[in-house]
């Protein structure tokens, strides 16, 4: 009896820990291979601990009371861990129908094993006990077993959802589908395109960065209404054939390829394969006689497009490009050149990438009949993402560029370049530098300091110890030390800086960190 | 999958019947290949009914029978959509909600055309055809309308306005003011009624008193303006929204009585055919016999007025030309004109069906503009708040 209760506790503990496993399985799009990759990288310690616990349980298999106590303690620990991990995770487990079914399958397995254990005896009972201990302790196995059990049901569901989405699009006569793909910039381009097309059409977009076949199917089934005229579909790819798979569902009329770069090389194996996959969109679009725009500024695309007679280029010196780009207190200003027509625009979006994304969206919008005036207004109404090169008017009429959420080295350098493009203004950077970059941390911060020295008038560093590399980087470029201010907190930075600002000041707030990092 | 249009009409208004005529005409002209139509007939007491018989004008001859046969419904929001919900459900034969994608109010007069119905639809956050709350209200109140136009530098006749109570208590002062600012002959109008109900012309002080007495029986607010003796009335319709609008050809209605009375406007040709055909059947000349310059002047003025009032959809603006001075004055705006002024657009080269198509597009466009302007704040500031009453343990702000 004690043994049975102990085993049930083990099983319940297993179900508790399953939460995190399913979260990871879900975030790896339910691909066991990707999930295994995650385990290999981030879960080795836990797996070892689980196997160790399993051995212990095996050792304890005759001693019912010890097992019961161990299982109870383990359950308590796992509960605490699961709750704290759940709270901490940025991308939490979304309890979808599928997650419920996976849980159901796991519960069913445990219930059958425990019932079997209670009824069986001898050798069989011992094997069942081992199985309960195994599934209760080594939860990745439980997750994978539940995945295997539910797979046939899921395939049926998936097939039905895809068929239903295809039916909706087919019955929706007159809807225009636009595919947006690329290694970088596809989400931003998608949202800019939506705003531009909003001037003339009823547009539905895949939300957030939904870009998998099921994400697309969900949008079609949930958001497309009878009045919808355009569906913009972001298409993500992690391996060859992924774009074609989405194209076979939505049959895009037009497309944009924002960039092709060395992303997901572990699954693509080569950049050539990335090109081939992104250009699956070209094949789909040409079948329907539509337009495909590809970014001339992304390395290798122009050469590739030369082999695709029907593809059009944007950016660079192609037919659709930005000219006379300047940056000032009103944001970016430039001339959109679209098929020979010149449209002067202003936007609060900053940086070369944003300009390029606007060119991409405007090219297609123009081709679909949005007028130059409408494009001018829509571009002026674009909203930046919060804390990503977000331009704000600030104290005493000065300008603040809030790039607090930027924590990647190239992004930070690009932000400093944006600051540099504010011609004729007094430029200040406030930053604690970058963290969690391992062996490259010193180098990245040094480079950031050096870059800041090239463009800034004042450098305010937050955190005495951790900003040393930045300090050294700035000095290496011969920056006047009198204009470097080291402070201990963001609040102190404000005290140093605020009294000096005037309308002619522009301040870049770069990678603002929580105060616990500062010392 | 078709866009479902809910056509709202009828309502608590003196122009209830006119609205039925306009709505039935419109429903018959909607492109049914592209749209579904759900009629929502609002009775004079404000109840909503729907049913297939609503498409036939004959059904409205016996309203009691109509009420018995039709289904009482309401228009509500549930989750992401707005639906027509059936109120009297039978236990074993439940009628499913009808999702609505866009509303098309075809109502005339106070208590509906004045922004009341627009307010209901905005409250539901449902895209709808026509003027929003403010522009509809401005269009309904002739005094506010004139003030808005004056502010925008657009031509209107001098006027005096007052409330019924003021007239009773301070008759001499008001009469003196009318004589000084407006003079005789004068036109007396109840403010905020559509059509021409209660409007009379006064040539003598006695007639003025009678005219005002009639007007106050229709409205609490009265407007007296100078009557142009040698006058031509010219109407022009505008279609679009404040960002982009265009004017139709002009029309000149024939005046039987000195001004176009309610009888002329809606019952004019009723005797001969037996069935009233609304505004479309009124005696008129289209296009109005005007010089090209005058026509252009009026069409441009019409668009200016449309923008100044912030209108949307299709409106009809009525002008007066003083034939002695050749000056044009804006008289009034109909934010939901009788028959939706389709006859003016047909004469301009746009069929009724295509015009409705445009109106639906404009409705969706306004909704998109609003969605793009709306800032949603995701954090609920109340989530961490409770009122710290004495003895309770709730956290304080």
Residues of A in contact with B372 (CB under 8 A): 195, 198, 381
Shortest CA distance from A373: residue in chain B: B243
- What percentage of chain A reaches a pLDDT higher than 90? 60
The rounded radius of gyration (Å) of the Cα atoms in chain B is: 23
How big is the A-B interface in CB pairs under 8 Å?
24
Shortest CA distance from A227: residue in chain B: B3
Alpha-carbon span B222 to B43, nearest angstrom: 28
Mean pLDDT for chain A? 90
What kind and span of H or E run contains B3? Answer: strand B3-10
- Residue A171 has its nearest CB partner, among B1, B364, B368, at B1
pLDDT given at position B195: 55
pLDDT at B103 over 90: yes
Residues of B in contact with A225 (CB under 8 A): 1, 3, 101
pLDDT given at position B396: 42
Please tell me if residue B38 touches chain A, with a CB cutoff of 8 Å: no
Question: Before B125, cis peptide (omega within 30)?
Answer: no
What the block records as the tokens of A162 is 């895809």
Please tell me if residue B102 touches chain A, with a CB cutoff of 8 Å: yes
Residues of B in contact with A195 (CB under 8 A): 372
pLDDT in tens, B161-199: 999 889 889 989 999 999 999 988 999 988 866 556 788
Shortest Cα distance, chain B CAs vs residue A259, angstroms: 27
Residues of A in contact with B102 (CB under 8 A): 227
Interstrand relation of A292-295 and A311-314 (parallel, antiparallel or unpaired): parallel
- Residue B3 has its nearest CB partner, among A203, A226, A381, at A226
What the block records as the tokens of B272 is 């001969």
pLDDT given at position B272: 41
Mean pLDDT for chain B? 88
Residue from B1, B81, B359 whose CB has the most chain A CBs within 10 Å, to mutate: B1
Residue appearing with tokens 């399913």: A22
Q: Model confidence at B3, in pLDDT bands (50, 70, 90)? A: very high
pLDDT given at position B397: 41
Q: Give the closest residue to B199 by CA, choosing from B230, B234, B167, B225.
A: B225
The CATH class given to the A172-380 domain equals alpha beta
Q: B364 and A227 in contact by Cβ < 8 A?
A: yes
Interface of A with B (CB under 8 A): 168, 171-172, 195, 198, 200, 202-203, 225-227, 381
Domain ranges for chain A: 2-153, 172-380, 390-517
Q: Model confidence at B387, in pLDDT bands (50, 70, 90)? A: low
Which residues of A301-423 form beta strands (DSSP E)?
311-314, 320-328, 331-338, 341-347, 390-393, 399-403
For the segment A15-44, the average pLDDT, to the nearest whole number, is: 85
For the segment B43-55, the average pLDDT, to the nearest whole number, is: 95
Residue appearing with tokens 């804390």: A387
Please tell me if residue B4 touches chain A, with a CB cutoff of 8 Å: yes
pLDDT in tens, B223-250: 999 988 888 999 999 999 999 999 999 9
Residues of A in contact with B101 (CB under 8 A): 225-227
Residues of B in contact with A171 (CB under 8 A): 1
Burial class of A161 by CB neighbour count within 10 A (0 to 12, 13 to 18, 19+): middle
Q: B4 and A226 in contact by Cβ < 8 A?
A: yes
Q: A198 and B4 in contact by Cβ < 8 A?
A: no
pLDDT given at position A519: 43
CA atoms within 13 A on the CB side of A228: 24
Shortest Cα distance, chain B CAs vs residue A201, angstroms: 7
Please tell me if residue B86 touches chain A, with a CB cutoff of 8 Å: no
Q: A227 and B3 in contact by Cβ < 8 A?
A: yes
Helix (H, G, I), strand (E, B) or coil at B42: strand
pLDDT at A435 over 50: yes
Contact between A292 and A313 under an 8 Å Cβ cutoff? The reply is no
pLDDT at A163 over 60: yes
Residues of A in contact with B4 (CB under 8 A): 226
pLDDT given at position B155: 97
For the segment A86-96, the average pLDDT, to the nearest whole number, is: 84
What the block records as the tokens of B362 is 């404009």
pLDDT in tens, A382-432: 998 888 898 888 888 889 998 988 878 888 999 999 999 998 899 999 998
Q: B372 and A227 in contact by Cβ < 8 A?
A: no
Which is higher by pLDDT, A114 or B395? A114
Alpha-carbon span B190 to B142, nearest angstrom: 9
What the block records as the tokens of A492 is 């102190």
Q: A226 and B364 in contact by Cβ < 8 A?
A: no
For the segment B205-230, the average pLDDT, to the nearest whole number, is: 89
Q: B372 and A168 in contact by Cβ < 8 A?
A: no
Fill in the DSSP letter of residue B281: G
Please tell me if residue B1 touches chain A, with a CB cutoff of 8 Å: yes
Q: Give the closest residue to B237 by CA, choosing from B190, B284, B277.
A: B284
Shortest Cα distance, chain B CAs vs residue A171, angstroms: 7
pLDDT given at position B282: 61
What the block records as the tokens of B185 is 């002959």
- Residue A202 has its nearest CB partner, among B1, B368, B372, at B368
Please tell me if residue B363 touches chain A, with a CB cutoff of 8 Å: no
Contact between A307 and A272 under an 8 Å Cβ cutoff? The reply is no
Alpha-carbon span A78 to A89, nearest angstrom: 16
pLDDT given at position A134: 87
Residue from A227, A378, A390 whose CB has the most chain B CBs within 10 Å, to mutate: A227
- Helices then strands, counting H and E runs in chain B, come out as 13, 16
Q: B2 and A225 in contact by Cβ < 8 A?
A: no
pLDDT at A240 over 90: yes
pLDDT in tens, A174-229: 899 999 999 989 999 999 999 999 999 999 999 988 899 999 999 999 999 999 99
Shortest CA distance from B36: residue in chain A: A226
Which is higher by pLDDT, A518 or A337? A337
| Fold of domain A390-517 | 3.90.190
Q: B101 and A227 in contact by Cβ < 8 A?
A: yes
**Which residue pairs from B56-62 have beta carbons closer than 8 angstroms and sit at least 24 positions apart in sequence?**
B56/B24, B57/B20, B57/B21, B57/B24, B57/B275, B60/B17, B60/B20, B60/B24
Please tell me if residue B331 touches chain A, with a CB cutoff of 8 Å: no
Residue appearing with tokens 């039916």: A167
Shortest CA distance from B373: residue in chain A: A381
Shortest Cα distance, chain A CAs vs residue B262, angstroms: 38
Shortest Cα distance, chain B CAs vs residue A81, angstroms: 25
Q: B3 and A172 in contact by Cβ < 8 A?
A: no
Q: A172 and B1 in contact by Cβ < 8 A?
A: yes
Alpha-carbon span A67 to A2, nearest angstrom: 9
Spell out the domains of chain B, with CATH numbers in brackets: 3-128 (3.40.50.20), 147-153+229-370 (3.30.470.20), 158-226 (3.30.1490.20)
pLDDT given at position B395: 43
pLDDT at A124 over 50: yes
Contact between A39 and A32 under an 8 Å Cβ cutoff? The reply is no
Sign of CA dihedral B216, B217, B221, B223: negative
What the block records as the tokens of A131 is 């199985």
pLDDT given at position A243: 97
Q: B4 and A171 in contact by Cβ < 8 A?
A: no
Interstrand relation of B244-253 and B231-241 (parallel, antiparallel or unpaired): antiparallel
pLDDT given at position B266: 55
pLDDT at A324 over 80: yes
pLDDT given at position B190: 87
Which is higher by pLDDT, A257 or A267? A257
Q: Which of B65-69, B90-94, B175-179 has the lowest mean pLDDT?
A: B90-94
pLDDT given at position B296: 97
pLDDT given at position B232: 92
pLDDT given at position A202: 96
Please tell me if residue B2 touches chain A, with a CB cutoff of 8 Å: yes
Residues of B in contact with A166 (CB under 8 A): none
Residues of B in contact with A168 (CB under 8 A): 1
Q: Model confidence at B388, in pLDDT bands (50, 70, 90)? A: low
Q: A198 and B368 in contact by Cβ < 8 A?
A: yes
Q: Which of A343-357, B59-73, B207-221, B344-358 has the lowest mean pLDDT?
A: B207-221
Residue appearing with tokens 């005696």: B283
pLDDT at B384 over 80: no
Please tell me if residue B372 touches chain A, with a CB cutoff of 8 Å: yes
Helix (H, G, I), strand (E, B) or coil at A425: coil
Contact between B114 and B135 under an 8 Å Cβ cutoff? The reply is no
Q: Model confidence at B391, in pLDDT bands (50, 70, 90)? A: very low
pLDDT in tens, B253-302: 986 544 555 555 555 444 444 444 555 556 889 999 999 999 999 999 99
Shortest Cα distance, chain A CAs vs residue B43, angstroms: 29
Contact between A519 and A466 under an 8 Å Cβ cutoff? The reply is yes
Q: A226 and B2 in contact by Cβ < 8 A?
A: yes
Q: B1 and A195 in contact by Cβ < 8 A?
A: no
Q: Which of A49-63, A347-361, A469-483 has the lowest mean pLDDT?
A: A49-63
- Residue B101 has its nearest CB partner, among A200, A226, A381, at A226
Please tell me if residue B101 touches chain A, with a CB cutoff of 8 Å: yes
Q: A225 and B368 in contact by Cβ < 8 A?
A: no
Alpha-carbon span B356 to B350, nearest angstrom: 10
User: Angle, nearest 10°, between helix axes A2-27 and A64-88?
Assistant: 20
């Amino acid at each position: 009896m004690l043994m049975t209760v102990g085993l049930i506790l083990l099983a319940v503990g297993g179900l508790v820990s399953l939460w995190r496993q399913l979260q990871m399985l879900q975030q790896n799009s339910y691909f066991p291979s990707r999930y295994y990759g995650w385990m290999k990288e981030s879960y080795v310690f836990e797996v070892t601990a689980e196997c160790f616990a399993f051995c212990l349980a095996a050792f304890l298999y005759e001693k019912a009371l010890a097992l019961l106590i161990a299982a109870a303690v383990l359950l308590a620990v796992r509960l605490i861990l699961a709750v704290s991990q759940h709270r901490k995770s940025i991308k939490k487990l979304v309890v979808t129908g599928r997650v419920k079914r996976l849980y159901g399958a796991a519960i069913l397995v445990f219930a059958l094993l425990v019932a079997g254990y209670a009824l069986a005896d001898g050798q069989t009972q011992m094997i069942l006990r081992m199985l309960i201990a195994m599934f209760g302790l080594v939860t990745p196995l439980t997750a994978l077993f539940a995945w295997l059990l539910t797979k046939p049901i899921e395939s049926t569901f998936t097939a039905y959802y895809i068929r239903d989405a295809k039916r909706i699009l087919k019955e929706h006569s007159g809807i225009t589908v636009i595919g947006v793909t690329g290694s970088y910039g596809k989400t931003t381009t998608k949202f800019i395109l939506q705003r531009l097309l909003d001037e003339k059409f009823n547009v539905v977009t895949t939300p957030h960065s939904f870009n998998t076949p099921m994400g697309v199917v969900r949008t079609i089934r949930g958001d497309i209404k009878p009045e919808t005229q355009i569906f913009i579909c972001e298409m993500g790819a992690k391996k060859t054939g992924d774009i074609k798979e989405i194209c076979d569902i939505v049959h895009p009329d037009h497309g944009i390829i924002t960039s092709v770069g060395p992303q997901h090389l572990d699954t693509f194996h080569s950049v050539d394969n990335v090109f081939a996959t992104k250009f699956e969109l070209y094949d789909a679009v040409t079948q329907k006689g539509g337009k495909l725009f590809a970014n001339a500024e992304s390395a290798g695309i122009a050469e590739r497009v030369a082999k695709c007679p029907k593809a059009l280029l944007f950016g660079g010196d192609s037919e659709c490009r930005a000219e006379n780009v300047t940056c000032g207190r009103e944001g970016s200003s430039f001339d959109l050149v679209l098929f020979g027509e010149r449209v002067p625009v202003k936007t609060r979006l900053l940086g070369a990438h944003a300009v390029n994304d606007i060119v991409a969206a405007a090219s297609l919008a123009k081709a679909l009949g949005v007028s130059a005036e409408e494009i001018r207004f829509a571009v002026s109404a674009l909203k930046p993402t919060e804390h990503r090169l977000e331009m704000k008017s600030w104290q005493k009429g000065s300008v603040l560029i809030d790039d607090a959420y930027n924590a990647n080295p190239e992004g930070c350098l690009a932000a400093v370049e944006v600051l540099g493009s504010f011609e004729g203004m007094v430029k200040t950077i406030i930053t604690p530098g970058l963290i969690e970059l391992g062996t490259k941390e010193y180098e990245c911060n040094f480079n950031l300091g050096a870059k800041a020295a090239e463009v800034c008038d004042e450098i305010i560093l937050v955190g005495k110890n951790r900003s040393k590399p930045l300090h050294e980087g700035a000095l290496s470029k011969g920056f006047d030390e009198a204009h470097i201010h080291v402070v201990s907190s963001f609040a102190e930075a404000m005290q140093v800086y605020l009294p000096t600002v005037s309308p002619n000041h522009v301040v870049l707030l770069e990678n603002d960190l929580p105060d616990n990092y500062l010392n | 999958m078709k866009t479902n249009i809910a056509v709202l009409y009828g309502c608590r208004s003196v122009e209830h019947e006119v609205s039925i005529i306009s709505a039935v005409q419109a429903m018959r002209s909607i492109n049914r290949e592209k749209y579904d139509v759900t009629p929502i007939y609002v009775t004079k007491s404000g109840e909503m009914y729907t049913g297939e018989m609503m498409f036939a004008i004959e059904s409205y001859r016996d309203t009691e029978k109509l009420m018995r046969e039709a289904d009482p419904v309401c228009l509500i929001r549930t989750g992401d959509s707005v639906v027509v919900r059936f109120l009297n459900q039978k236990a074993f034969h439940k009628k499913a909600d009808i999702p609505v994608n866009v509303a098309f109010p075809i109502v005339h007069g106070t208590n509906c055309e004045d922004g009341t119905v627009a307010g209901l639809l905005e409250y539901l956050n449902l895209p709808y055809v026509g003027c929003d709350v403010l522009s509809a209200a401005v269009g309904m109140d002739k005094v506010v309308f004139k003030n808005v136009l004056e502010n925008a530098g657009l031509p209107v006749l001098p006027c005096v306005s007052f409330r019924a109570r003021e007239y009773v208590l301070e008759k001499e002062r008001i009469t003196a003011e009318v004589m000084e600012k407006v003079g005789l002959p004068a036109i007396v109008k109840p403010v905020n009624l559509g059509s021409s109900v209660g409007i009379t012309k006064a040539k003598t002080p006695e007639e003025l008193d009678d005219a005002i007495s009639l007007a106050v029986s229709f409205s609490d607010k009265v407007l007296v303006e100078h009557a142009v003796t040698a006058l031509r009335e010219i109407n022009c319709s505008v279609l679009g929204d404040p960002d982009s609008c265009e004017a139709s050809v002009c029309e000149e209605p024939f005046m039987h009585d000195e001004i176009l009375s309610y009888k002329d406007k809606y019952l004019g040709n009723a005797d001969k055919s037996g069935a009233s055909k609304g505004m479309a059947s009124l005696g008129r000349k289209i296009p109005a016999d005007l010089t090209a310059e005058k026509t252009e002047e009026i069409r441009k003025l019409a668009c200016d007025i449309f923008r100044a009032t912030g209108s949307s959809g299709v409106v009809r603006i009525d002008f007066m030309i003083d034939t002695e001075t050749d000056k044009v004055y804006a008289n009034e705006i109909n934010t939901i004109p009788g028959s939706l002024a389709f006859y003016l657009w047909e004469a301009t080269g746009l069929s009724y069906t295509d015009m409705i198509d445009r109106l639906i597009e404009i409705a969706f466009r306004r909704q998109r503009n609003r969605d793009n302007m709306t800032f949603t704040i995701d954090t609920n500031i109340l989530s961490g708040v409770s009122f710290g009453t004495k003895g309770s343990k709730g956290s304080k702000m």
